[in-house]
Amino acid sequence: MALIADHAGDRAEQLVLITARLTTLIEEETQRIDARLPPAEGEEADEKNRLANTYRLELARIKQDPDLIKGAPPATLAALRQSTVALHETLARHEAALNAVKIVSEGLVHAMAEEMTRQRSSTSGYAPNGGLSSPAGPQPAIIDRKA
């Protein structure tokens, strides 16, 4: 969804507001990640997605036609630069938090896979015919503290 602005100053002011709100939502999501809480759902998640899409589309439009904000007041452009820097810093912290979650999740999956492999590869003895016995059918996986 593109912004509807009367002039360059109006567009820049709207971008400042969008950037500030998006920064706040991403900061809150990062705090939830750090607190090991589930991500936001419902209207807050929808709002974040709408703002992110609007921000992305508007930046693409401005990149194609810089005159869209060229005539904005210098103070508004400075505020836009400042809010954009804050957004990028917040996104960097958010990315670091997401990477930490990813590393932990991947570690858990690997540990469970290794434990299942260890359990399934252990032999249980000899069969009546003198060969190694192997279980017939699927084997249940027992995940305990070892994993």
Q: What is the CA radius of gyration of the chain?
A: 27
pTM for the complete prediction? 0.75
Residue 36: which region, alpha, beta or left (left: phi > 0; alpha: psi -120 to 50)?
A: left
What is the pLDDT averaged over residues 80-88? 97
pLDDT at site 133: 66
* pLDDT exceeds cutoff 80 at 123: no
* pLDDT exceeds cutoff 90 at 111: no
Complete domains list, the chain, with CATH: 8-121 (1.20.58)
Question: One-letter amino acid identity for 116?
Answer: M
Reduced to 3 states (helix: H, G, I; strand: E, B; else coil), residue 71 is: coil
What percent helix, strand, coil does the chain show, rounded to 5? 70, 0, 30
Q: Which residue has the higher pLDDT, 28 or 136?
A: 28
Q: For the purposes of burial, counting CB atoms within 10 Å of the CB of 92, is it exposed (0-12), middle (13-18) or buried (19 or more)?
A: exposed
Angle between helices 8-34 and 74-121 (to 10 degrees): 30
